Chains A and B, each alone.
Chain A
């Protein structure tokens, strides 16, 4: 027994020493497991990313305490945001966001705002692509919009995830920009939307790349354009002859709409500066791991990273965009 104990102690000291050498001294480090709140259900995009982060942190020993993912999906994510809002000054809680950071308080009137939280870092931006069934004749975004207009209002069905959230906002923006009119059908998850499109129960979708890529590769779906200023940078072939980079941006396809979704990290209100600096550093290291890079390219994410004032400014801008779009669409809570 004593031998074992001694061995364990030696090992512990060696480990601690190793860590001490490899990482610079932090002004703050977690002293207990960090709760990583996901304001969405298990299995969705934010959940996947959070669990990947947990795995990467664990595998590469990036934090001395584990990250524990907790799903708080109630009220379109309001539950998760309220939980962290209430944890004022607690450095052991962080939250990953999706667009519901903006859309949920605007659409439901639940009292929280990103300004209640402490911004940590932007991890990536998620793209949206306009998809149609590959058996339809629409070869470009322009063709498709022309067909929608020709058919008359509400004849074409656009499927998306949730109501008054990103997918519907994009649909409304698309309608505004082109004058076409869709019937929007909300579903519970992105994978479900992609399959409904393959089964021709809906006419188009604005799925994220990762939600529809499998069906694209199988030749069931056709991407028309990506809702961003520029094309996606990934040039590896995804299908036989196309890469993400071959999909035109909607702007160049003649449908001037752009929208990206924030995958960012926030901490509790009034979280200590040192703790925020610590998390920024951890996520910087995560970005350098091969696992993260692979996940980014598989999902064709926009890998912009931001922290500090630059990040705050971006979030401010995004909130303004959401408010304008949702106001125009009549989605604001009364």
Chain B
């Protein structure tokens, strides 16, 4: 039980008054950063990084990692209330969270989101505490073919999610892939699809598209439907938290599955965004409530939020033990470590015990602090929906515009956001699903990179995706999931036909 001793020592480090203060400051800043779409955790931490030079490294990482936790919590707030994902990993939370808010159950959805975030994080931190070295060696097994198979699995677990015609899903996904291809290509180093226009070489940022498609699109639709938010009648009840907690244990299987998916994706490192999508897709497949997903199911909020937070937390593990960041935010924290004169890598756990265990202890405490902060604010957040549409809509549009601008500090992104808003509106009217487009846009270029890296490695031989048990297993699972609906309908037809 060497870990437990070390952990208690870590708590002693993390519980100094300065560190506790920084923890709460970090959480509050993080929640604000998470709420503002565009200003993601990575940007927020990068901006604050130089301020931390005068602090001891342990205090600095505690504050910065708490910003990260805060951003993970905060991302859910606007997803649920306004259908605007504050962070990429909360896109999947909108699928059921927003319908719940429309039904006047915003408080319930937020409580479920925050609580499952906490559960996911706690699970990941426990894994972190006891299995760090083991888990790090698992991450080393992942080369380009393995990464591609994981992305393939994400796509396949997601196919058939919308209720629309399969053709529409494929069309939406292809548009997403095409948008993801714009900009510089990693493998050849060439600009693609920019048509000689230098403004385009940045590519289409996922966040800009999401803010437009979801946020602006939603506002356009609300305008058409009588200038009112349907969640207006939201009950505001301070007991909502306890009432929701009483219901949550029912979803423990979904929750556990989401924890496992999240941890695996964070460690690999695939990141929080694919984890949340995959978890939602798998829950829809496996759960008894599956067919009702998308209509405001608590389980549909629990699955992606748990996975996102588990992945976000475990993404720090490969950063500390291998020096490879599991998410953009982890990449910035990694830069911070180097600047503070710490060397992430296998020896960090041996040489800098105070730092590592202080950080791990702060993960427990920071997430607890985060949960307390956001839960006490649930009634307040839910009350926002009572503000008349005519007041809140312009505010949302301004926040969306600021968010789109902060992604790259580019004016073009604001115009693109508006354009995506119109596209989002048209998609909804024509009953095209947005989720496959978003998924393809966020994972498209990564999937493409890893596919082409694999092809370079194997000199063009596709069998590389079955070259060992790990990659072969994941690829096979992906294919099974892809053909599942087809197979299921065939079996049904044979049985009843």
Question: A residues within 8 Å of B by Cβ?
Answer: 41-44, 47-48, 51-52, 54-56, 58-59, 69-72, 74-76, 78-79, 82, 107-108, 110-111, 154, 157, 162-165, 168, 183-189, 191-192, 194-196, 198-199, 201-202, 210-211, 213-215, 217-218, 220, 291, 294-295, 298-299, 331
Which of B320-328, B360-368, B477-485 faces chain A?
B320-328
Query: With A and B bound together, what is the CA distance between A162 and B186 in angstroms?
Result: 6
Does B166 have its Cβ within 8 Å of any Cβ on chain A?
Answer: no
Judge whether B53 is part of the interface by a CB distance below 8 angstroms.
yes
Query: Is B164 on the interface with A (CB-CB < 8 A)?
Result: no
Contact A52 to B322, CB < 8 A, known contacts A75-B202, A185-B453: no
- Which of B42-50, B169-177, B391-399 forms contacts with chain A? B42-50
From A54, A185, A215, A294, contact of B346 by CB (8 A): A215
**B323 with A51: CB separation less than 8 A:** no
Asked whether, in the complex, the Cβ of A74 is within 8 Å of the Cβ of B331, the reply is: no
Closest to B343 in A: A214
Tell me if A214 and B324 are in contact (CB < 8 A).
no
Task: Output the nearest chain B residue to A164 by Cβ-Cβ distance.
Answer: B189
Instruction: Pick from B31-39, B136-144, B236-244, B378-386 the stretch touching chain A.
Output: B136-144
Q: Is B459 an interface residue (CB 8 A)?
A: yes
**Which B positions have Cβ atoms within 8 angstroms of A?**
42-43, 46, 49-54, 139-144, 183-191, 194, 198, 201-203, 318, 322-325, 328, 331-332, 334-335, 338-339, 341, 343-348, 408-409, 449, 453, 456-457, 459
Which of B53, B335, B346, B456 contacts A59 (CB under 8 A)?
Answer: B53
Residue of B nearest to A184 (CB): B456
Known contacts: A48-B335, A185-B453, A214-B343. The answer to whether A74 contacts B184 by CB under 8 A is yes
A42-B332, A56-B53, A108-B191 known; A295 vs B339 contact (CB < 8 Å):
yes
| A-B pairs with lowest CB-CB distance, top 5 | A214-B345, A43-B331, A75-B201, A201-B143, A74-B202
Residues of B within 8 Å of A220, CB to CB, are: 346
Given contacts A42-B43, A214-B347, contact A55 B50 (CB under 8 A): yes
Q: How far is the CB of B460 from chain A (nearest CB, A)?
A: 11
* Contact yes or no, B343 A213, CB < 8 A: yes
Return 16 A-B CB contacts under 8 Å, by A number: A41-B331, A55-B53, A59-B54, A74-B203, A75-B183, A78-B198, A79-B201, A111-B198, A162-B189, A164-B189, A183-B457, A185-B456, A189-B324, A191-B322, A201-B457, A295-B339
From the candidates A108, A162, A195, name the one contacting B322 in the complex (CB within 8 A): A195
Give the complex CA separation of A331 and B188 in angstroms: 10
A70 with B449, Cβ < 8 A, contacts A75-B184, A75-B191 known: no
Is the CB–CB distance between B339 and A55 below 8 Å? yes
